[in-house]
Structure 1
Amino acid sequence: MLRLVKFLVVLALLAAVAAFAGYRYWQSRLEAPIAVEEETLYEVPRGAGYNRVIADLAARGAIEDEWAFRLLTRIEPEAIPQLRTGEYMLEPGMSGRELIELLGSDRVVTYPLTIPEGWTFRQMRARLDAAAKLENRTADLSDEEIMALLEREGRHPEGWFFPDTYRYHKGMSDVDILRQALARMEQVLDEVWEARSDNLPIETPYEALIMASLIERETGAPEERREIAGVFKRRLERGMRLQTDPTVIYGMGERYEGRITRADLQESTPYNTYTIDGMPPTPIAMPGRASLEAAVDPLPGETLYFVSRGDGTHHFSRTLREHNNAVNRYIRNR
């Protein structure tokens, strides 16, 4: 009897040693580097579960010990994260456990999408349509339908999307970018309007957005924005028409082919500030923060006119005679 007890004890010890050795070997396979020799892009498909992803990685040769990963669901199910849809970069040398952690993290591969200051909503839509790996949900929608989708029904879209560089990952849609840009513009506009100067000829944040779009389209020189805003302010206060070419171009729409004629300046459109009083009914572009700040803090002075020098800057004048001389110098002689 004693001999049988000793045998059973030895057998139990051997089983425990074998189990421990097996456990340590299993752990070592999970801690071992995965089988990729260079950075490898891997996509977790929408709705894919853990076992499906492990089988796919094994089929692609990215992992060698599929059994070790599957055993994890039985021994350490709490170690398996909720996998997230998207693309991930598998790195040489990363362990199996690091791989599992990565696929459940927010460290997805992202791509930049830049919307430049001064672009129109039409240009923004074209860039969204052309963005690689960005799901397009708005291609067949009108501008009005897009604004309704963004819960801004009845609002004209021009100017309401903040120009910036946004990052997206596969699985996101153009609607996600539009929501971000819209929320950012609304936030910045609120901040800028709260810090506005006194005695402005504009009375609402939306009018500030319109004014900022005119400033944005008139100059790319940072030092000129407040002075252009000052010219517009004084012209509005004196009942003078703004007479800014970008509004004419916007009113022409797709007919614009790179130059404005005298007939274009005289054409009556809702946006032609040579023929209408005050500002156009909507913004004409997407202004950046600097133009928004200039719109609500114009530079004091006496200038009422400006003309392009042809190098991205402008000559500012106080009188019509001085302005006409500048036009002869910078436009007609050119």
Structure 2
Amino acid sequence: MAHAAAEAPVQQLAEQLRETREPLRIVGSGSWLHGGGPWGAATPLATRALHGVVEYAPGDLVITVRAGTTLAELAAVAGEAGQMFALAPYGAPDATVGAAVATATPGPLSYGDYTMRDLVLGVQVVTGNGDITRAGGRVVKNVAGFDLVRLHTGAFGTLGVITEVSLRLHAVPMRDAVLVGTVRHATAGGIDDVLPRILAQRAPLPMLLRCTPHEAPELWARVSGNAARAAALEAQLESCGVADVHPVAPAVVQQTLHHTDHDSVMLRARTHRSDAMPFVLAAIDAFPQGTLLYDPAFGSLRVTIPFASATAIDRDIASWYRLAAARGAMHTISVVVDQGRTVTTPRLPLDESIKRAFDARDILNPLAPLVPSSLAHPEV
């Protein structure tokens, strides 16, 4: 009876999707509705009521939760068993698990450099056609045909409404702390000195180089493991050319690294690690009002720009390309506008066929055509 009661909201959702003819905008906690778009006008479809643990097997390090469960709730449940979700995504702690999976949101200083697709084992999804589907499973090792789990992870809800997620967990290490140090000689080539060092080191030390306007660059790192391992990693951090290394409180980490103002444009870029120097230095020049987070493990850069300073974002990105090439970059730069996109990217034929298979009427999170010179920000 309890199982049937739990499935009733999903059945109701499926019925609603089969009957509706109006576009729907999927909303979890609503903490990042500006991301991934630009989205067209649509009726909100709330999923926050679908919350709670479905199944938890601490011995298997696997948990299944409903999609409306928040990341904070997930952390609290796993923490009682000495376990954790290894990826703390960008955004607010009250963001939902379903939204984090749907957006494939990365995480700063994630444990073991895991991405969302590494940790999602299975999903239950109600497609735009009203079909209740399952992909993957509830175990770490499973073979379940086509990898629809990865297809839905990062699809931004355009193929279906995620209602349930199975996740891989990890044991909480003996020590797990975020440290930060200031880059030495910031006004005299400090980044030129620290970048080669953090690229050359091979220690399992998640790091972020943070550059903000009018402030000295900082190197953030996550030190975890037993006492000996943590001490060795902290020494490795200090050898990268930083001073005043100290631990940071979780609330400061959340506000400094995870939080993104809605009134901003956010870029996510990546290039070959061998081009790190021209890639980062050119970004600093192209976006002087932006905050930059460079991840040396992935060769990725996250740039957050105040909306008032991003009136010509397309031109600034083009300048970034030219400056990087002039500094000697040899590889292409891949850029995605995660918030504040200026145009709607046309779907490829394969994208269109997949969309038709899952949401033939295009009612879930439909995209909106925009004038190329405008910025996608609903509050402006």
Fold match by TM threshold 0.5: no
Q: Between Structure 1 and Structure 2, which shows a larger proportion of strand residues? A: 2
Q: What is the TM-score normalised by the length of structure 1?
A: 0.22
Q: What is the TM-score normalised by the length of structure 2?
A: 0.20
Q: Between Structure 1 and Structure 2, which shows a larger proportion of helix residues? A: 1
Query: Looking at CA atoms only, which structure, 1 or 2, has the larger radius of gyration?
Result: 1
